[in-house]
Amino acid sequence: MLVAATQAMSQKLFTLEELNFGGKNYKVSVPQKWNYSWQEGKLIFKDGDKTFEVNPANGEMADYQAPEEKNRPNPKGLLEWCKASNAAAFLRDNNLWVRYADGHDVQLSTDGSRQIVYGQSVHRDEFGIHKGTFWSKDGQKLAFYRMDQSMVADYPQVNTFKREAELEPDKYPMAGMTSHQVTIGIFDLETQKTVYLNVGDPTDRYFTNISWAPDGKTLYLFELNRDQNHTTLDAYDVTTGNKIKTLYTETSDKYVEPQHPITFLPWDDTKFIYWSWKDGYTHLYLMDTEGRELGQLTSGPWVVKEIVGFCPATKSAILITKEAGHLQRNIYSLNIKTKKRTLLDNGKGVHQAKLSEDGLWLVDTWQEPDLPRACAVTNAKTGKSTLLQKASDPWEEWYQPIFEQGTVLAADGETTLYWRMVKPMDFDPSKKYPAVIYVYGGPHAHCVEASWHWGSRSWDTYMAQKGYIVFSIDNRGSEDRGRDFEQATFRRLGQIEMQDQMCGVEYLKSLPYVDAERLGVHGWSYGGFMTTSLMLNYPDVFKVGVAGGPVIDWKWYEVMYGERYMDTPEQNPEGYELTSCINKAKNLKGKLQIIIGMNDPTCVPQHSLQFLNACAEAGTQPDFYAYPGEGHNMAGHKSVHLHERITQYFEDYLK
């Protein structure tokens, strides 16, 4: 059922079954996934990649195209469209172009190639970078990345689907090796001229978190040195490309990690918010365009996760933070002047928020451990909320696993760690069950949260259905617990993480219904590294492991991520030696299956292939499976095949 909400009430419009598209019943996805808006008395919603308009009087549907998009440029190779100027940046034959509102095209570059990359994400998507073009607020200027990777070594990926296999190399800078060079151009739509920022020699420098001044005259960005222990916030004149000033500097004895561009206050073009974890937690700070510090806006032993937007009526920022609990995400209004925070949701669960253009209305969707989904509309000014929908348990009439959550102390004896456990639906405490630890363990991720079923995965349920206990714990080094929690693993990746995971294992072994002789472990990517490391460092504990896309030795991983956490192999030889799985291949006792995408551009096949070689020389016997043509993760039917293979391995050797 779909409802419309106002500040005071909600009204039923129609059910899914009542929707009619062209005289035919149209099957749409569940309402919780819809993206709604209202225009001229009609409901506009997106379902997948399609957009429809619905007449609420009769439920009739039709294809929809926004007025401003009817003449919207949509060139092949589109990178980013700008609503303000109705211009579009796009790629043609590796070069960057702009299509104007009237349809004519202007070419910005001529030397684009596999070696010279324009308008795309750089620095291997690190430092919060997700794209390579940035429009000014008025749409009259376009900032873009230019990445010269001609000096970066080719990693020899091979296409085996051709009659004769062909070389299709990736540019892959490994830790300690030569990296690419990035510069930033600015194209002026009026003059049709491009100016590059005068940054000097870009060698071993990272430029990230690009943002525009509201008036379009200044470009701001963060720069990091290659050691990633020093960052500056710099302002550049977009007409000359010259640096105006450095507004802020931050250093660390480990690493700094800017992930967010500055955000200007909508009601004051001279002030902006920047992010830092310099007090130990990720918080917000206010600064003016002269570089004067205007105070810390948020503080406490918790992290800010997102600036949703602003409510100009109250001069407040709408935030999502972890203030209400490490496992939660909650919505707050932050008064910029008083720094007072006001909770805008129910104080439970994991929330997402979308703010109306005027900043007055907030769509709040959330989950709780026993609530699959709910949705409310909240007035950002008054805080008054109207519940739209609360989903019932879709498994209510089915036998279902038991989902539990708890805590243990980390290996330091002081830090609280959170775990999740999934038990079989017919759980009998008098029986002994095999247990599988599902692990990730690395930075920028977590496994346990206060969402539906404590954030468990479908595979957890599948394994519980087959009679396993599935257990996950977020060790030190994972996200959202503050700087020291995350940086505890610096230069020794995997070591403290394993110690904390073993605290979870000891807890499992203390439970009378867990069979300590049948413990398995599984993870992917960093979790594959953790799985392999646990199998080799604790060979008498784990009987079976499945490691997907694992890092085996950090000297083969990419430069930005690898050097942030490990420094270079030359700077930290002891750390690289300690964390490598190559020299521990002789320790393997249990059954270990390594699974990779044969053309993985993230964790290249060399990791797993060299581990297999080390095992052959040591006389140990891992199993191996590769998906030809696949990357770091499998999709579609390959994903189904993958999870059946993982499951079957535990069925064969752990049951």
Domain ranges of the chain: 2-64, 77-261, 402-653
pLDDT for residue 69: 64
For the segment 324-344, what is each residue's pLDDT rounded down to a tens digit?
999 999 999 999 999 999 999
Nearest to 180 by CA among 172, 192, 188, 190: 172
Which of 73-77, 390-394, 573-577 is the most confident on average?
573-577
Catalogue the long-range contacts made by 8-16 (C-beta closer than 8 Å, 24 or more residues apart): 8/386, 9/386, 10/386, 10/387, 10/388, 13/43, 13/54, 13/56, 13/59, 14/54, 14/56, 14/59
Strands lying side by side in the sheet with 350-355: 350-355, 361-368, 371-379, 385-390
For the segment 268-292, what is each residue's pLDDT rounded down to a tens digit?
999 999 999 999 999 999 999 999 9
List the single range of 57-61, 400-404, 552-556 with lowest mean pLDDT.
57-61
List the single range of 41-45, 114-118, 595-599 with lowest mean pLDDT.
41-45
> Tokens for 127?
């430092």
Residues 192-205, mean pLDDT to the nearest whole number: 98
Residue 61's pLDDT band, with cuts at 50, 70 and 90, is confident
pLDDT for residue 397: 86
Nearest 5°: the CA angle 543, 549, 554 is 100
What lies within 8 Å, CB to CB, of 567 at 6+ separation is 227, 491, 575
**Residues 377 and 361: beta-carbon distance below 8 Å:** yes
Q: Which residue has the tokens 């499945």?
A: 546
State percent of the chain over pLDDT 90. 88
Cα separation, 436 vs 361, whole angstroms = 44
Output DSSP code: residue 583: G
Give the 3-state secondary structure of residue 616. helix
The residues carrying an active-site annotation are 525, 600, 632
Q: Is the dihedral of CA 486, 490, 494, 496 positive or negative?
A: negative
Q: Which residue has the tokens 């931050």?
A: 250
SS (H, E, C) 250-314: EECCCCCCCCCCCEEECCEEEEEEEEECCCCCCEEEEEECCCCEEEECCCCCCCEEEEEEEECCC
Amino acid identity, position 220: Y
Residues 354-366, mean pLDDT to the nearest whole number: 95
Strands lying side by side in the sheet with 316-321: 304-311, 316-321, 330-335, 341-343
pLDDT for residue 312: 97
Residues 638-653, mean pLDDT to the nearest whole number: 98
Nearest to 491 by CA among 564, 547, 420: 564
> Tokens for 518?
């049948």
CATH 3.40.50.10860 for the 402-653 domain, yes or no: no
Residues 241-267, mean pLDDT to the nearest whole number: 98
pLDDT for residue 609: 98
Amino acid identity, position 337: K
Amino acid identity, position 238: V
Amino acid identity, position 506: E
pLDDT for residue 28: 55
**Residues 294 and 288: beta-carbon distance below 8 Å:** yes
Assess whether pLDDT exceeds 70 at residue 26.
no
Assess whether pLDDT exceeds 70 at residue 186.
yes
Alpha helices by DSSP H, listed for 379-516, are 458-465, 483-487, 495-510
Assess whether pLDDT exceeds 80 at residue 35.
no
What lies within 8 Å, CB to CB, of 177 at 6+ separation is 153, 559
> Tokens for 11?
């009204």
State percent of the chain over pLDDT 70. 92
Per-position b or e across 213-246, b if 16+ CB within 10 A of its CB: bbebebbbbbbbeeebbebbbbbbbbeebeeeee
Nearest 5°: the CA angle 6, 329, 280 is 140
**CATH class entry, domain 77-261:** mainly beta
Sheet strands (E) in 105-229: 105-107, 116-118, 133-135, 141-148, 154-155, 158-159, 166-167, 170-171, 181-188, 193-196, 205-212, 218-225
pLDDT for residue 1: 46
Residue 525's CB: how many other CB atoms inside 10 A?
A: 20
pLDDT for residue 63: 78
pLDDT for residue 16: 62
No. of H helices and E strands in the chain? 8, 45
Residue 6's pLDDT band, with cuts at 50, 70 and 90, is very low
For the segment 536-547, what is each residue's pLDDT rounded down to a tens digit?
999 999 999 999
For the segment 594-635, what is each residue's pLDDT rounded down to a tens digit?
999 999 999 999 999 999 999 999 999 999 999 999 999 999
pTM beyond 0.75:
yes
> Tokens for 286?
């206010």
End-to-end CA distance of the chain: 44
For the segment 496-541, what is each residue's pLDDT rounded down to a tens digit?
999 999 999 999 999 999 999 999 999 999 999 999 999 999 999 9
- Average pLDDT of the chain is 94
pLDDT for residue 558: 97
What is the pairing mode between strands 514-524 and 469-473?
A: unpaired
Assess whether pLDDT exceeds 80 at residue 45.
no
Sheet strands (E) in 394-513: 402-409, 416-423, 433-438, 469-473
Assess whether pLDDT exceeds 90 at residue 60.
no
pLDDT for residue 32: 45
List the single range of 196-210, 383-397, 473-487 with lowest mean pLDDT.
383-397
pLDDT for residue 68: 61
pLDDT for residue 5: 47
What is the pairing mode between strands 268-276 and 283-288?
A: antiparallel
